[in-house]
Structure 1
Amino acid sequence: MAAQFGRRLRKGAATTAVAALAVAALSASQGPGAMAGDQSGRPVTTGADTAPDAAAGGATGNSPYYTDLPPLNSPNPSPTIGTPVSKGPTESGIPATVLDAYKKAASELQSAKPGCNLPWQLLAAIGKVESGQARGGAVSADGTTTSPILGPQLDGNGFALIKDTDNGAYDGNSAYDQAVGPMQFIPSTWEWAGRDGNADGKKDPNNIYDAALAAGHYLCRFGWDLSTQADLDRAILSYNHSQDYLNTVLSWLDYYRKGTHEIPDGTGSLPDSRSDDYDTVSPQPSPPASHTPGSGTQKPDPGKGSPTPKPPATTPPSTPPAKPQTPTDTVHHLEDAGTAALTAQAGDAFTEKVSARAETKAGVAVAKVRLRFTIVGATDATFTGGENVATVVTNSTGVAVAPALKAGEKTGDFTVRVTVVGRSVTGLDYKATVSERAADVLTRTSDTALTCTPGGEFADQVEVKATYKGAVADKVAATATLIKSALDPTQAENGPYFKDADGKTVRTLTGLETDANGVLKLPKLYADDTTGTFMLRIETAGGAALNVQLTVAAAETSSPSPSADTSSPSPSADTSSPSPSADTSSPSPSADTSASPSPSPSA
């Protein structure tokens, strides 16, 4: 059976009074700003504007918390790890893994929400008050508590009434909710506030890294600046709506700011007292009976026995005055206030905002009502600031407008649900759609002709830029295919090609994506022995397409001039073909002395 949250100590009324005085005195001694009322003369505010989630019980559902206060002395310097320490230094020490979780969460918030100015000491103060630093650091190496830390079931018996919201998934209770883990989140709050602080793919309220990061984001919502006392008070009160809780957390915050040190896991001191230790004692003593001159205890008559007490004067019961209605009490229903279609591409901001109007039964607008906007569904979309819940007060026309929505990378539909804080009024659901990133225009980044010789490789790689409505289209999915022709987009069987990781020929590339500047650079292209003009087609999500021409041709050879060409015979230079005047093989009548002699007349 899951371990219950600490011990419950029953004390008498006298002890209660002494403890209350001690709490007040010690809280007042803890330095500037320790008490909520000590704000340089400013009055403390604890109304609805101070704690936007008070009606829902804050992060903890207003569960009990530890009331132990820090030692009166400032923390001592850090002792050596493993050295026995007295209670004072142990009180100031924080178990190593728990301390690491607080510091990592604050560091992440400093990057994600720098305007919040969340100190890690605030997480430490809340962790001390909620669970005694995860029961003195009883956590595994990954930060998960060695056994579940559960608050009492919130069944309305001395606590808030919160019926089961998670079917027992987090707290093991399918009847009522219980606060869970070292930062004591109730399941309904963890469902939207949970974070994965140790990057293990899970959001576990029993893991100190997850819980600390969730607490940090919870305290930093609504644009609060925790370096200002007013916003710090608001944030703490939104975690648990109790003035005593605020005072206790501020005391530990001031103490840890003066110094702390790391101690081994499992060696932290355990708190002794809880806020519900006195729940069987009347919260305040009954007022003494009033006296008027001449009245009082009846004196005995010496001549008679014990006096007969006079019956108390009876007065007809008076009807208690009716509780004044708040604006929230008058809300009958919610109406859409003209929200247009909610669509956006992955990674983009939605151009439209969700708006709703609170109205009475007669249709009259109701101002100053808190409406909660919650993102529901399998989506990573968030409101501005990275939250998936926001609370907004209706204006004079009864309208509340949610912060801008920002799409994540998950595509598909999700819901934005609007409800009235503090009332069971039927909510409104708004459908929102996230589509994949798209481009509508593709252009080459260079106009260089793409040519290659058979069997070679193209000198230039194909590079294109994608835009959508004139803006850079980043992270857009694309494909590239060597096609038969501009009129036949089927894959070609020969011609240019890409190579896969194994060096094999491929003519279609999938899984491509433009970079942050909308640019897509394709791998090198190669040519087989086929010559001619070929076509590369690039297409993106959203319908953008571009055909790129590729040419494969044999290398050109130089063409010799006729005067230098000795391979073609020239009549004047060709000695292989004898001219008639030079031909000695053909006899000439005048020159041939080898012919038969003609007879001489004298002979």
Structure 2
Amino acid sequence: MAAQFGRRLAKGAATTAVAAAAVAALSASQAPGVTDTSQGRQNTGSQPSPDVGDDTSATGNSPYYTDLPPLNSPAPTPGTGTPTGTGDVEAGIPATVLDAYKKAEAALREDKPGCNLPWELLAAIGKVESGQARGGRVDADGTTLTPILGPVLNGNGFQKITDTDGGSYDGDTAHDRAVGPMQFIPSTWAWSGRDGNGDGEKDPNNIYDAALAAGHYLCRADRDLSVEKDLNRAILSYNHSTDYLNLVLTWLEYYRKGTHEVPDGTGSLPSGRSDDYSGASPTPTPPSRTPGTSKPSTPPSGGGSTSPSSPASPSSPPPSTTPPPSSPPPTGTDTVDHLENAGTGKLTATAGDAFTERIATRAETKAGKAVPKVRVRFTIVGDTDAAFSGGESVATVLTNSSGVATAPALRAGEKTGDFAVRATVVGRSVSGLDYAATVTARQADTLVRTSGTALTCVAGGEFANQVEVKATYKGAVADGVAATATLIKSAADATENDKGPYFKDADGKTIRTLKGLKTDANGRLLLPKLYADDTPGTFLLRINTTGGATLTVELTVEAAASSSPSTSPSPSA
């Protein structure tokens, strides 16, 4: 590996100019309107894109690796599967890591087919975030051999994020750090984590779990990643930097041209870092002490710090001699005392419909002043299948200049009843604020038959026509409305009849009440075939729906014709 890493450094000087031109060209073709100002490196002047929106980033905007793709073709030799060229190691993806990306793509194809997530996008992000799990240093289950941690997000040159996981993921009880091969911060993993390898756990250090979580994160908000605008927004939601966007698009384009599998642990190690040239803090933050040890742990870092097993990049500047401030100034999050309802009224929706009102929360200081740029997390709690736009049960939003965070649109599922949406401040232990919500059953106020044909039958026979009705609510089609159909004794007695027409169940047995019926997407309901016993007369079928719609249908059973032979007159008569 040392030899491979040395070759990477040796050829770096010779290819930098060409690579810079390549990334600029690729970025221009992939992201019109986005300028690559620093060859993929994030500097102090790099600004978040206006397309990012209010969502927090997956990584907490941690630093990332800036290595560019090799200039040789990534495609293997046809028919052999053996790659050729000097960039073989850089072009390859470790076997387990590649398998995780492809399985995540397959899972998203089933769960969110409209997203059109390509596994090459996960590979591009994995390359930029952790160098494909530090060259594929994972065990057979896909878990990294040692933790991959970003820098301490304490505000010294990086975003300040107060601890949200009690150190359970990152070993730091004071501040958060990006964790694992896809570099999720703990507060984001708490709601976006997934179990990608089916072991019953959601582990950010496992490449299968992390890749699947990254896929779902990118596919939020009903994004279609085959559309350029949605693709750019998805990447920017991972890290709010135009340079990051350009670099990921460059690797995406490279992997789309082809790649090959390399054994786990033999992938190339990344070198350049996005904060190498930022004036904030070029010196990596020392890792925090691992609980129960007598000296600081030194796990290989993600995009935010340098691995002790890797030589420093010769292009890196010398460490800054200016000591960091001993106590960073307080952030807006530190000043939040409580959350207030920002005018949200009663939340009620019919099953399957969107709630007409969006939840708004205001972050305030103890004195009641608004606190802008604070992350507020909205979490759906209770026995419900309601979800925010994009199908997520959790959404994180920044407060605006008035201190107000507005949750994404909320849509009711099919489960009826009460649930709550809880608003909390990310990185701050203040009481949450609950918003009560109710999902009511779909309703109909009118039922009509779709045909005026009389329903008649001979005793002992079957009705030629089935009963079909259409339901509406306030003049609109009432789809998915629950209904019950009962053959009743009379208009004044709605109890089930014990004679006359009947339905048959799956076993062919006589039944005269049908429950659990629902109208279709067009508000129509077609009842099963009706049969008649040997009792002639006029009978009634009553159909009721949720919401109070009622329709009574008349059924006529005629007496069977006499089977006695007629008497013929005698010849003498």
Aligned to 2:438: 433
Alpha carbons of structure 1 residues 189 and 520: separation in structure 2 relative to 1, 3 Å = same
Report if the CA contact (8 A) 2:92-2:261 is conserved. yes
Correspondences of 1:251-400 after superposition (within 5 Å): 251-257=250-256, 259-263=257-261, 269-273=266-270, 274=301, 275=303, 276-277=305-306, 284-286=318-320, 331-366=336-371, 370-394=375-399, 397-400=402-405
Which ranges in structure 1 are unaligned for 5 or more consecutive residues?
1-6, 12-16, 289-319, 558-564, 568-574, 577-603
**Relative to 1, partners in 2 of residues 1:480 and 1:134: Cα closer, same or farther, differing over 3 Å?**
farther
Are positions 1:408 and 2:408 aligned together? no
Match of residue 214 from structure 2 = 215
2:108 touches 2:216 (CA, 8 Å); kept in 1? no
- Determine helix, strand or coil for the equivalent of 1:418: strand
User: What are the superposed Cα offsets for residues 507-560 of structure 1, whole Å, 9 maximum, x if unpaired?
Assistant: 222232211111110110000001122222222233333222212122579xxx
C-alpha distance in structure 2 between counterparts of 1:458 and 1:526, whole Å: 6
CA–CA distance in 2 between the matches of 1:556 and 1:446?
Answer: 28
State how 1:173-184 maps to structure 2 within 5 Å: 183-184=182-183
Distance 1:150 1:470 in 2: 63
State the identity as a percent: 60
Aligned equivalent of 1:295: none
Paired with 1:395 and 1:492, the residues of 2 have a C-alpha distance of 64
Amino acid of the structure 1 residue aligned with 2:74:
P
Contact 1:233 1:246 in 2 (8 A): yes
Equivalent residue, structure 1, for 2:285: none
Question: Which one scores higher on RCO, CA 8 angstroms, separation ≥ 6?
Answer: 2
Mapping 1:481-560, distance limit 5 Å: 481-554=486-559
1:31 aligns with 2:31: no
Is the 8 Å Cα contact of residues 152 and 178 (structure 1) preserved in structure 2?
no
Alpha-carbon distance between aligned partners in 2 of 1:101 and 1:347, rounded to the nearest angstrom: 31
CA distance in 2, matches of 1:101, 1:426: 39
**Alpha-carbon distance in 1 for matches of 2:69, 2:387:** 38
Deviation per CA, 1:437-456, whole angstroms, max 9, x where unpaired? 33333222122221111001
Is the contact made by 1:60 and 1:185 (CA closer than 8 Å) also made in structure 2? yes
Q: 1:207 to 1:478 in 2, by over 3 A?
A: farther
The Cα of 1:27 is off from its aligned counterpart by: 6.6
TM-score after normalising by structure 1 = 0.66
Q: Deviations over 1:374-431 (max 9, x none)?
A: 3334433222333334444545654443332111223333322223456544332212
- Higher mean C-alpha deviation, range 151-160 or range 402-411: 151-160
TM-score when normalising by structure 2: 0.69
Quote the RMSD (CA, aligned, Å).
5.3
| 1:157 to 1:442, Cα distance in 2 relative to 1, 3 A | closer
One-letter amino acid of the counterpart of residue 277, structure 1: T
CA contact (8 A) 2:76 2:83 kept: no
In structure 2, the residue matched to 1:193 is 192
**2:114 aligns to what?**
112
Are the structure 2 counterparts of residues 111 and 225 from structure 1 closer, same or farther at C-alpha, using a change threshold of 3 Å? Answer: closer
Deviation at 1:495, TM superposition (A): 1.1
The 8 Å contact of residues 98 and 137 in structure 1, kept in 2 or not, is answered as: no
Distance 1:202 1:472 in 2: 44
Aligned mates of 1:135, 1:183 — CA distance in 2 = 11
How far did 1:462 drift?
A: 0.7
Q: 2:461: which partner in 1?
A: 456
User: 1:59 Cα deviation (Å)?
Assistant: 2.5
Pair 1:59 & 2:93 matched: no
Q: 3-state SS of the aligned residue for 2:24?
A: coil
Distance (Å, rounded) in 2 between the aligned partners of 1:493 and 1:193: 56
1:501 corresponds to which letter in structure 2?
Answer: A
Cα distance 1:180–1:495, how it changes in 2: closer, same or farther (>3 A)? farther
- Cα displacement (A) at 1:243: 9.0
Matches within 5 A, 1:157-168: 165=165
Amino acid at match of 1:459: A
Q: CA–CA distance in 1 between the matches of 2:326 and 2:350?
A: 56
